[in-house]
Structure 1
Amino acid sequence: MMTLSQTITMGTHPLGTGRPSPARITSTLDSRLLAGKGKIAASKQWADEPWPLIEPPSRTRRTGHPAQHIANEVAHTHNAMLRGLNALYLQAPYIRSPADVADFCFLAHVWAAWVRDYHSHKEGVMIPKFEDALGLERGGLRRPALACTAEGEGEGGWMGDGNGNGDGKGKEKVGEGEGNIPALLQSILDHTAATHADPSSYSPSTLQSLLSTLASTLVPHLHNQIPLLQQMQNLCLTLDSLPPSPSPSPSPSPSPSSSATTTQPPSRRSTPASSLSSRPQTLSPPKPPTSPAISTLLTKTHLTATTTFSASLDPFTSLPMIVRLRDITYDGRTHDGGVWPRLSVPALHAVADRLSPKHAGSWRFLPCDVWGRPRESEFIGEGEGRSE
């Protein structure tokens, strides 16, 4: 989803102004993870609930076609968003000290800003460009998926309030209420900014309510968009199989006899008719215009869109958060190998050593370390939580 070498600094995050850099935080789960070859036995709730993660297409099939690869990459991005949503919701009641409240609200603010900006870029740039490549009108890519429904999971599914208190229906039409997502995210941004400025005003129930209201619309949207993108493969196969439009046949060239009897006087440099009759004329038909396959256009569109968005990320806030929202034990179990995002060891060291220390206190609440290894949170399940 992102290319670290192509990112640019967008300035210090407004919530981070003037804050000292907390001490580096190391995971207490790393040694057990390494000993267990990536398997963990979590004793607390982890960030794969209460709202369920998406099964990436690469877990069950090869993502050879560009449409499947795009859907797979987007699924990993959406899962990172879901882990962030779950981690914030689960830990909110257990944040107590003013310093922890400030760091926690900073993280919630960075997460909400990232989701808002990504959603805006995907809906306003990426998907319209896909529709252009497929020759569809605006909104045409979404239309075939409107008949799909999102099946709820567990009690109330992802339509619940985070405590299993769903409406029992467990279904929602694709696209229903999606226009509210930016406004719901803005409410979280406003609330966390105000609380960060005044940690004593922190209200866990208010933050959880805002997250739950957002989840009722955002989570079905994130899940349903994967099959929507996968359907581009069938559209590509249909469009690529269509015969090219017939080219207009060239107009017949004048015969030698007609050249000899033309009414126009021949020029001094014109070839005599006798020489034309002895020289056979061969006219090559014009070549039909060539265009890249639709699938190639989709690949280029996705690469351009993701590169543009990656370049807009603040390397001191968004990048340290995103790498800790990926789980190599889940995202890494693919049919064709690889871990999202595919970052080199030097790149991860750069994130850990150069980009993370500035706001290290906020990364304590993320579900994975910088290498993508899951870790338990010290802020879940302590006592009865904070009373208001």
Structure 2
Amino acid sequence: MAFAHNSMLRGLNSIYLQASFVQKPRDVSDFLFFIYAWAGWVSHHHVLEEEKMFPGFERVIGVPNFLETNVEQHHSFQPLLKKLLEYSSKTQPADYQASVVRQLIEEMAPSFRQHLSDEISSLLSMEPYDGDALLEIYKECEADAGKQDKHVVPPMVLGLRDITFEGGNQWPAMPPLSAWFVYYFFSGKHSGSWRFLPCDTWGNPRALAFVEENA
């Protein structure tokens, strides 16, 4: 889960750092879709936690509402995440304002960052319980997450992982050669949007394409 959270933060940082330097209509359109894809993925992740993962964990450990605090934290940033999602889906390139995107992120980031950290602590506290049963719940949710649009989520997520970070090559769990399959069969549809990713399909870090020195 920590690797997923790190990927979310890399995406958020990439959006914030590049927002002010995207200017051409085609680039803006691609950037707005990148924001939309990231916000949609994060939102889906938290809905899946609330509806399936956390209730499943609580059944295994036999402690109702054990993760309620973490669910409540979702509500502290979810309205801002929804605004970011709506802005990215409804805004035309000619109307794009970097200041709006950056302001939403600045308002959302503190509670979002705190939640991601606190959630890991909560999950680690379940270590004394039935690890195999907890892992089964996690894998079921991972399978559900894998049903998202293959032209959007896999190319984006692979470009948000960093294999140079400790253990970074262990997530997401994929069969051999999957990254190649994603690259050649699924990344092309929205390839313009993947220019904004901080890593390539194989998880190698790269310079952001739209920062001041590269704009």
- Map Cα deviations across residues 235-284 of structure 1 (whole Å, 9 max, x no partner): x2xxxxxxxxxxxxxxxxxxxxxxxxxxxxxxxxxxxxxxxxxxxxxxxx
Q: CA deviation at 1:123?
A: 2.2
Q: CA deviation at 1:176?
A: 6.4
Structure 2 partner of 1:280 = none
Structure 2 partner of 1:62 = none
Contact (CA 8 Å) 1:321, 1:366: kept in 2 or not?
yes
Seq. identity, %: 36
CA distance in 2, matches of 1:202, 1:102: 9
1:194 is matched with which residue: 90, 109, 113?
90
Contact (CA 8 Å) 1:368, 1:374: kept in 2 or not?
yes
Q: CA deviation at 1:332?
A: 3.0
Contact (CA 8 Å) 1:76, 1:331: kept in 2 or not?
no
Corresponding letter in the other structure for 1:220: Q
What secondary structure does 1:185 align onto?
A: helix
CA distance in 1, matches of 2:20, 2:192: 18
- Map Cα deviations across residues 138-189 of structure 1 (whole Å, 9 max, x no partner): x12456xxxxxxxxxxxxxxxxxxxxxxxxxxxxxx7765313332211011
1:210 is matched with which residue: 94, 104, 114?
104
Q: Does 1:95 align with 2:25?
A: no
Structure 1's unaligned 5+ residue stretches are: 1-73, 144-173, 237-293
Q: CA deviation at 1:233?
A: 1.1
CA distance in 1, matches of 2:67, 2:195: 39
Pick closer, same or farther for the CA change 1:117–1:125 going to 2, 3 Å. same
CA distance in 2, matches of 1:299, 1:125: 13
- What TM-score, normalized by structure 1, do the two folds share? 0.53
Structure 2 partner of 1:349 = 180
Corresponding letter in the other structure for 1:180: S
Q: CA deviation at 1:364?
A: 0.2
CA distance in 2, matches of 1:371, 1:78: 18
1:115 is matched with which residue: 42, 46, 50?
42
What secondary structure does 2:99 align onto?
A: helix
Corresponding letter in the other structure for 2:114: P
CA distance in 1, matches of 2:53, 2:161: 22
Q: CA deviation at 1:370?
A: 0.4
CA distance in 1, matches of 2:21, 2:67: 43
- Map Cα deviations across residues 329-367 of structure 1 (whole Å, 9 max, x no partner): 00436xxxx521233442111111110011100000000
CA distance in 2, matches of 1:344, 1:177: 34
Q: Does 1:296 align with 2:190?
A: no
* Mapping for residues 124-203 of structure 1, pairs under 5 Å: 124-137=51-64, 139-142=65-68, 177-195=73-91, 198-203=92-97
Structure 2 partner of 1:367 = 198
Corresponding letter in the other structure for 2:66: G
Contact (CA 8 Å) 1:78, 1:222: kept in 2 or not?
yes
1:84 is matched with which residue: 11, 19, 41?
11
Structure 2's unaligned 5+ residue stretches are: none
Structure 2 partner of 1:220 = 114
| Corresponding pairs, count | 215
Contact (CA 8 Å) 1:352, 1:370: kept in 2 or not?
yes
- What TM-score, normalized by structure 2, do the two folds share? 0.93
Pick closer, same or farther for the CA change 1:177–1:347 going to 2, 3 Å. closer
CA distance in 2, matches of 1:127, 1:175: 9
Contact (CA 8 Å) 1:367, 1:374: kept in 2 or not?
yes
CA distance in 2, matches of 1:226, 1:177: 13
Q: CA deviation at 1:201?
A: 0.7
Pick closer, same or farther for the CA change 1:332–1:233 going to 2, 3 Å. closer
Q: Does 1:231 align with 2:116?
A: no
CA distance in 2, matches of 1:371, 1:120: 28
Corresponding letter in the other structure for 1:217: S
Output the aligned Cα RMSD. Answer: 1.9
Q: CA deviation at 1:125?
A: 1.2
